[in-house]
A and B are shown apart, each in its own frame.
Chain A
Amino acid sequence: MSKRMMIVMTMLIGLLAAYINSEVISAESWQQVLSKSENLEGYYYKTPYKFSERNMGVIEVWHQGYASRLEMTNSLTGETMILLTRQTDGTFYQIDPEANEAIAYTYTDIELLPQDLDESRYAVAGSRFDQNFIDRVSSVEEVDYRNQPVYLLENKSTHGGQEEIYRVWMSKEFGLPLKEEMQMADGRIHRRIYTDMKEGPFPQELFVLPEGLNIIREMRFN
């Protein structure tokens, strides 16, 4: 083998080794992927909703640290409703941005976050894909969904001879669901899909109350 040939071969082997190494490093277990979203600098997604034939559209969600913003836009009327959560004081706000009006709902028995969180910090519920969820996963598959590598996890629940199955197509990139299915005991399947996923950070203004917001009602409940 000539010297030149040797150099070419060495380079090719080196490239192959680097590729294999990167694949091994990026091959996270499904348990690691489930906790991935907690380390993201915020995330965003869209999901369709349908209350009725006259009220259906798109929900957009932004999560960032302790902040959460949800916008529901009716595809038929174009009207938007915003929901800002702020669990540091146990309150969330339902806002009509067009009228700049809101109803404030306050949970009185919510476990408040540490008092060192300042007023601009908002809180969201913890990950639902926790150890409790992991312990109940009954099947795991690696598949592609919409050209993205995902873990398809299945969680079966049986009671009194009836079986209900929850399936989630978990994005390996974000550690968030791209699709979920709930199969009822009679075989009917309810589906939800999540699209346009993006990682933050997002502008802080998204998570604060609009200026001059008129709170028309304050409700306290437990």
Chain B
Amino acid sequence: MNKRGWKYQKAVFLILLLLIIIAVFIFYESEKTPMDEDVEDLITEPIGEEPTEPEFVEPEPYVSLLDGLDKESPFSSGESIGRLKIPVINLDMTVIENASASNLNRTLARMISSDLPDGKGNFVISGHRMYQYNSHFNRLDEVEIGDEIVFEDESYRYYYEVESITFVEPSEIWIMLGNNRESMLTLFTCTPIARATHRLVVFSSLKEMISLES
């Protein structure tokens, strides 16, 4: 290589080196985030007021799902506790306390393992499917999601809306387990109608409660 060519190569190398240095500097500057700047500020600026410790907030005590569900029933077995109305199937019947075999032969009855109709828990009413059209829960299978169910006692009228329908086997007692997080009315009867191998279950939620006392 001659002298001129060597000098030329040297110049190209220096220019390239310079370009690389400039590129690195630009890249570093562009990569700097506002966070980096904040950190730099924090490092360079004098420390101001001491940060205050957050106030201690005592956690809410846990309320048991069973809380308030341990009330004794004021009714005796067979005593009328109110009326159940399901307009869509033209049902309007008295509900009595305790769904024993003899009480269920008379009318609809409250499962005493369930809650009272006072706006808390799961109030469960059982009834025979009956072969006679429109008798007891004979037409409960016709009820659909969204239908209105009304329960009325001496003091209040409770409006429920059907939210879910299912079927269970007779030993599945979870259908009558409520908790105080909500207010429900559960109705159940035998299904299929002439076989009764299962229970048809209608779950409804309380929508409104109106006082009847003037």
Nearest Cβ on chain A to B19's Cβ, whole angstroms: 60
Nearest Cβ on chain A to B148's Cβ, whole angstroms: 15
Chain A contact residues: over half helix, strand or loop, or mixed?
strand
- Check if A184 sits within 8 Å of B177, measured CB to CB: no
Residue B100 interfacial (CB < 8 Å): yes
Q: How far is the CA of A103 from the CA of B205 in the complex (A)?
A: 23
- Check if A182 sits within 8 Å of B170, measured CB to CB: no
- Contacts A51-B164, A70-B174, A190-B165 given; indicate if A157 touches B195 (C-beta within 8 A): yes
Q: How far is the CA of A219 from the CA of B116 in the complex (A)?
A: 14
- Check if B184 sits within 8 Å of A217, measured CB to CB: no
Q: Using an 8 Å CB-CB cutoff, how does the interface string of A75-101 with B read, 1 for contact, 0 for none?
A: 001010101010000001010101101
Q: Which of B174, B182, B186 has the most CB of A within 10 A?
A: B174
- Check if B141 sits within 8 Å of A186, measured CB to CB: yes
Q: How far is the CA of A128 from the CA of B113 in the complex (A)?
A: 23
- Contacts A52-B164, A52-B205 given; indicate if A184 touches B141 (C-beta within 8 A): yes
- Check if B167 sits within 8 Å of A190, measured CB to CB: yes
Nearest Cβ on chain B to A164's Cβ, whole angstroms: 4
Q: How far is the CA of A49 from the CA of B176 in the complex (A)?
A: 13
Q: How far is the CA of A128 from the CA of B170 in the complex (A)?
A: 9
- Check if B198 sits within 8 Å of A166, measured CB to CB: yes
Q: Using an 8 Å CB-CB cutoff, how does the interface string of B123-148 with A read, 1 for contact, 0 for none?
A: 00000000101000000011010000
Q: List residues of B (8-22) whose CB comes within 8 Å of A's CBs.
A: none
- Check if B163 sits within 8 Å of A136, measured CB to CB: no
Residue B106 interfacial (CB < 8 Å): no
- Check if A155 sits within 8 Å of B177, measured CB to CB: no
- Chain A residues, CB < 8 A from B173: 83, 85, 92
- Check if B197 sits within 8 Å of A190, measured CB to CB: no
Residue B87 interfacial (CB < 8 Å): no
Residue A159 interfacial (CB < 8 Å): yes
- Chain B residues, CB < 8 A from A160: 131, 133
Question: 12 other contacts beyond A79-B179, A136-B197, with CB at 8 A cut-off?
Answer: A51-B184, A52-B164, A54-B205, A55-B179, A59-B174, A98-B62, A99-B66, A103-B66, A128-B171, A182-B191, A182-B192, A221-B112
Interface CB pairs A-B, < 8 A, 21: A49-B166, A50-B203, A51-B186, A51-B203, A53-B163, A55-B182, A56-B164, A72-B177, A98-B62, A98-B64, A125-B170, A162-B193, A164-B141, A180-B167, A182-B198, A186-B142, A192-B166, A192-B167, A216-B64, A217-B70, A219-B113
